[in-house]
Structure 1
Amino acid sequence: MSKLLDKEYESKSLAELVKAPVSALAGVTDNDAHLLQEAFHIRTVGDLGRNKFFRAATALVDLADSMK
C-alpha cells in the first residue's frame, strides 16, 4: 500500500481510504484533485473508483490487454 498512498494514509482501513480525498493517492497533487473535482465532481478515492468514465476506460484497457 505504501506505493499507492501518501504516507499519512498508509495505516487507514479500506473504508477510510474510500472516503479519503483523491490527494491521498501517491502522486495525486492537491491541484490534480481540484481539477478532478471541477471536471468530474470527484472528491474522494471512492468517487474516482466509481466514476463511469474511469471505469469504462479501465474496462477497455483490460479487454485490449487480454487480446494481446
Structure 2
Amino acid sequence: MAVSVDLSKALDKAYEDKSLKEILDASPAALAGVTDAAAQALKDALGIDTVRELGSNKYFAVAGVLVALEGKTT
C-alpha cells in the first residue's frame, strides 16, 4: 500500500524532496524550526545526532505520551 504525506511545512526546504531514510538519517536541523545551534545542543546534551534518534529518544517519547494523556485523566 502506498502512502503519501505532505511534510513540506515540517521540514527544512533542503529536505522536502528527500526520501524518508535520508530525512531520518539527517541532523535534527532538517526539521523546520530547528536551527543548527539547537541541533548541536541536542547532540551535546543528549547525544542526538539524527532525526531518527530524536524521534526514538526516551525522554521525548515520555513527553509525547504525557501530552497525549493530558485531559484524558480524571
TM bracket (short chain): over 0.9
> Which runs of 5 or more structure 1 residues have no equivalent in the other structure?
none
What's the % identity of the aligned pairs?
51
Q: Does 2:30 match 1:24?
A: yes
Letter of the 1:15 counterpart: K
Q: CA deviation at 1:13?
A: 1.1
Scaled by the length of structure 1, the TM-score of the pair is 0.92
| Equivalence for 1:9 | 15
Count how many residue pairs are aligned between Structure 1 and Structure 2: 67
What secondary structure is seen at the aligned counterpart in 2 of 1:27? Answer: coil
Indicate the RMSD between aligned Cα atoms, in angstroms.
1.2
> Which runs of 5 or more structure 2 residues have no equivalent in the other structure?
1-6
For 2:49 and 2:14, how far apart are their aligned partners in 1? Answer: 18
Greater Cα radius of gyration, structure 1 or 2: 2
